[in-house]
């Protein structure tokens, strides 16, 4: 799949933003006034910024509002509805926390659930697609949710939770890569079933239908950068999980220095998750590539 | 609504004969010609006369080589367009309801004024049947020439999809695959019509007729071959003398 910057920015930032919103909804950290304002500003900035980035990959962004209608069948529509609901509920909750020093806990729990629900619906947009075996796995929502929770804990300064959640997210990441690498082969789909000619012998793509490129090849048959996949995976693991964990485990009592380390941990995590997300798209094999003999 | 209809009154679709297709791409051109100036937004080209031309097409012809375990390889031309699936994943993923399947004839269409160009329907299609038009920013796909097949302004012979009308080899057939007595259903039954990627669970309406086995050259080339054997191996009489005389020269 073409690793479009808009969708990588969207899933990375929104995942982190909604993860932080989930923790804030649970009252972690229990802050109010200006401190709360800064936390909510970061969370809303990431979540909304990501959602806005997502609209850049639309052919007709001015019609994006029409996407709220088909929540009965469409995960993309459900995601839009969940995102707006989460942002509205958390917005109301934020007003209470920041300006009135009131923590309406039921509203917060609802907002936290909707925030994680939004991340889940995002992951289902990808996990539902049978055409991309590497995404069509239970580990896809597990990965999106565990990344969101780990990043949220990190941003919310919940060191103890962050350590546990980063370990879980890292483990899910490894499991996702292991299962994903075998997904296309295990799907049973190959050039033989694609053409229906497999029972007659070995099928080879002899001539493509066009000499130039087209939408299908650009969107679904991305092959650039696969040769660096192993290195990029190490970078994703190192920046996303190992470095933040190491920084969290450094014994530190100076408050300024502790915050500085936390900032570095967050930035490293962000770089790692963005790298992992780039691989998520770049390595995903759409079965339409079989018709072009490109798998 | 992007829910799929439980049943459709008819299942209009194509039957494509892989035995007959000669790979001339006439269906590709006639499809583009008809559909760029009729239903919906035109099928745009980008940089058509430049170094890297690209464009939107609703129908494309691949060619495959099949090497059986014994014998010669066979070249098979393979036209591919929307299969108007009964369980069309492209319809249910659409967030706006732009993508829909008609309950009366099963044709899968895009309402272009509702399409936001998110591309998710193309992602969900295993066959690469949908292409996002770069000029218009909306999804384009085969309409089964919905503006021809019911068009009473056209002579009756033309009320079939443009690709079917054009095919010089007669490799494309159009009809109601939901009616077991239709000509296309008979064709599918007789020739063992098949689905593409049945494991995807899309239940395609369009069927492909597999190529027939090729003729084999066995011991005898032709039943007339014995009659063509040379009759005078050794010359006699005048011809024999002439042969010898010419040898001596």
Rounded CA-CA distance A211/B54 in Å is 9
The three-class DSSP label of residue B193 is coil
At residue B132, does pLDDT exceed 70? yes
User: Do B95 and A66 lie within an 8 Å CB cutoff?
Assistant: yes
**Which segments of A56-104 does DSSP mark as H helices, in order?**
75-99
Q: What is the ipTM of this complex?
A: 0.93
Is B197 part of a structural domain of the chain? yes
A residues 255-284 closer than 8 Å to B (CB): none
Residues of A in contact with B89 (CB under 8 A): 129-131
Give this prediction's pTM.
Answer: 0.91
User: What is the total count of domains within chain B?
Assistant: 1
pLDDT tens digits, one per residue of B23-39: 999 999 999 999 999 88
Say if residues A191 and A295 touch (Cβ distance below 8 Å).
yes
Rounded CA-CA distance A217/A269 in Å is 32
Is B99 part of a structural domain of the chain? yes
Residues A181, B125, A61, CA angle at the centre, nearest 5°? 105
Q: How far is CA A148 from CA A21, A116, A264, B23, in A?
A: 10, 8, 18, 50
Q: Could you tell me the CATH number of the domain that includes residue B45?
A: 3.30.70.20
Is B48 part of a structural domain of the chain? yes
* Distance between B150 CA and the closest CA of chain A, angstroms: 30
Confidence of residue B99 (pLDDT cuts 50, 70, 90): very high
User: Do A60 and B3 lie within an 8 Å CB cutoff?
Assistant: no
Is B225 part of a structural domain of the chain? no
Specify which residues B39 forms β-bridges with: none
DSSP string, B44-96: -EESTTSSS-EE--SEEEEEEEEE-SSS--EEEEEEEE----TT-HHHHT-SS
Mean pLDDT (whole number) for B125-153: 97
Confidence of residue B244 (pLDDT cuts 50, 70, 90): confident
Number of Cβ pairs < 8 A linking chain A and chain B: 197
**DSSP β-ladder status, B108-110 and B131-132:** unpaired
pLDDT for B232: 66
- Residue at token pair 């009759």: B231
Q: How far is CA A87 from CA A81, A111, A119, in A?
A: 10, 8, 13
- A131: contact with B, CB 8 A cutoff: yes
pLDDT for B219: 63
Confidence of residue B167 (pLDDT cuts 50, 70, 90): very high
Domains contained in chain A, CATH given: 5-292 (1.20.1630.10)
For an interface test with B, the pick among A10, A291, A294 (most B C-beta atoms closer than 10 Å) comes out as A291
Residues A37, A43, A49, CA angle at the centre, nearest 5°? 120
**DSSP β-ladder status, B12-17 and B207-209:** parallel
Residues of B in contact with A213 (CB under 8 A): 52, 54
- A67: contact with B, CB 8 A cutoff: yes
pLDDT for B62: 97
What's chain B's average pLDDT? 93
pLDDT for B1: 58
pLDDT tens digits, one per residue of B26-75: 999 999 999 999 889 999 999 999 999 999 999 999 999 999 998 889 99
pLDDT tens digits, one per residue of B191-228: 999 999 999 999 999 999 999 877 776 666 677 877 87
Say if residues B204 and B196 touch (Cβ distance below 8 Å).
yes
B residues 27-46 closer than 8 Å to A (CB): 28
Is B219 part of a structural domain of the chain? no
Write the CB contacts of B43 (distance below 8 Å, at least 6 apart in sequence): B32, B35, B36, B55, B56, B57, B58, B133, B140
For an interface test with B, the pick among A73, A75, A126 (most B C-beta atoms closer than 10 Å) comes out as A73
**Structural domain for B76, as ranges:** 12-209
Q: How do the pLDDT tens digits run along chain A, 295 residues long?
A: 998 999 999 999 999 999 999 999 999 998 889 999 999 999 999 999 999 998 888 999 999 999 999 999 999 999 999 999 999 999 999 999 999 999 999 999 999 999 999 999 999 999 999 999 999 999 999 999 999 999 999 999 999 999 999 999 999 999 999 999 999 999 999 999 999 999 999 999 999 999 889 999 999 987 766 778 999 999 999 999 999 999 999 887 788 888 899 999 999 999 999 999 999 999 999 999 999 998 7
B-chain residue closest to A1, CA distance: B123
Specify which residues B64 forms β-bridges with: A205, B76
User: Do B62 and A207 lie within an 8 Å CB cutoff?
Assistant: yes
Residues of B in contact with A194 (CB under 8 A): 126, 196-197
Burial of B229 (0-12, 13-18, 19+ CB in 10 A): exposed
Extract the tokens encoding B236: 């006699």
Q: In this structure, is the dihedral angle defined by the CA atoms of residues A125, A127, A133 and A134, taken in order, positive or negative?
A: positive
pLDDT for B236: 80
Is B5 part of a structural domain of the chain? no
Rounded CA-CA distance B155/B137 in Å is 34
Rounded CA-CA distance B98/B116 in Å is 8
Q: How far is CA A172 from CA A141, A147, A233, B16, B112, in A?
A: 10, 9, 13, 45, 40
Rounded CA-CA distance A67/A78 in Å is 9
């Amino acid at each position: 799949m073409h690793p479009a910057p808009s969708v990588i920015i969207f899933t990375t930032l929104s995942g982190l933003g909604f993860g932080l919103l989930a923790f804030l909804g649970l009252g972690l950290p229990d802050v109010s006034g200006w401190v709360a304002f800064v936390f909510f500003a970061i969370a809303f900035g990431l979540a909304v910024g990501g959602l806005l980035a997502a609209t850049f990959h639309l052919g007709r962004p001015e019609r994006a509002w029409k996407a709220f209608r088909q929540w009965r069948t469409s995960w993309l529509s459900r995601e839009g509805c969940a995102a707006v609901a989460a942002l509205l509920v958390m917005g109301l909750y934020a007003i209470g926390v920041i300006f009135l020093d009131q923590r309406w806990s039921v509203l917060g729990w609802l907002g936290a659930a909707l925030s994680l629900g939004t991340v889940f619906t995002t992951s289902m947009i990808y996990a539902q697609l049978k055409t991309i075996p590497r995404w069509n796995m239970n580990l896809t929502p597990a990965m999106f949710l565990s990344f969101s929770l780990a990043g949220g804990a990190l941003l919310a300064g919940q060191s103890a939770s962050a350590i546990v959640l980063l370990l879980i997210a890292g483990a899910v990441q490894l499991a996702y890569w292991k299962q994903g690498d075998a997904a296309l082969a295990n799907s049973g789909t190959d050039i033989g079933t694609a053409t229906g000619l497999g029972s007659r012998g070995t099928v080879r793509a002899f001539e493509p239908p066009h000499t130039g490129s087209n939408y299908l090849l650009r969107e679904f048959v991305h092959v650039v950068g696969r040769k660096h996949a192993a290195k990029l995976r190490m970078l994703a693991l190192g920046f996303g999980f190992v470095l933040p964990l190491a920084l969290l485990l450094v014994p530190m009592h100076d408050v300024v220095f502790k915050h500085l380390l936390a900032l570095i941990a967050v930035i490293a995590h962000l770089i790692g998750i963005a790298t992992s997300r780039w691989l998520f798209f770049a390595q995903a094999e759409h079965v339409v590539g079989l018709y072009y003999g490109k798998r | 609504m992007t829910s799929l209809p439980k049943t459709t009154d008819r299942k209009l679709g194509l039957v494509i004969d892989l035995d007959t297709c000669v790979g001339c791409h006439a269906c590709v051109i006639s499809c583009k010609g008809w559909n760029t100036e009729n239903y919906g937004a035109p099928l745009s080209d980008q940089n058509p006369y430049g170094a890297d031309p690209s464009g939107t097409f609703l129908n494309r012809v691949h060619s495959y080589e099949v090497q059986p375990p014994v014998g010669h390889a066979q070249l098979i031309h393979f036209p591919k367009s929307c299969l108007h699936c009964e369980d069309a994943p492209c319809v249910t993923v659409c967030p706006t309801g732009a993508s829909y399947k008609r309950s009366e004839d099963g044709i899968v269409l895009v309402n272009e004024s509702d399409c936001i160009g998110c591309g998710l329907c193309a992602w969900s299609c295993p066959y690469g049947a949908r292409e996002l038009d770069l000029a218009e920013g909306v999804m384009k796909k085969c309409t089964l020439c919905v503006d021809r097949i019911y068009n009473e302004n056209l002579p009756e012979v033309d009320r079939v999809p443009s690709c079917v009308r054009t095919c010089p080899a007669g490799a494309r057939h159009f009809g109601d695959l939901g009616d077991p007595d239709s000509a296309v259903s008979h064709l599918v039954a007789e020739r063992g019509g098949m689905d593409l990627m049945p494991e995807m669970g899309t239940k395609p309406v369009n069927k492909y007729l597999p190529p027939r086995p090729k003729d084999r050259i066995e011991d005898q080339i032709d039943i007339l071959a014995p009659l063509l054997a040379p009759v005078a191996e050794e010359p006699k009489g005048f011809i024999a003398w002439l042969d010898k005389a010419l040898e001596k020269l």
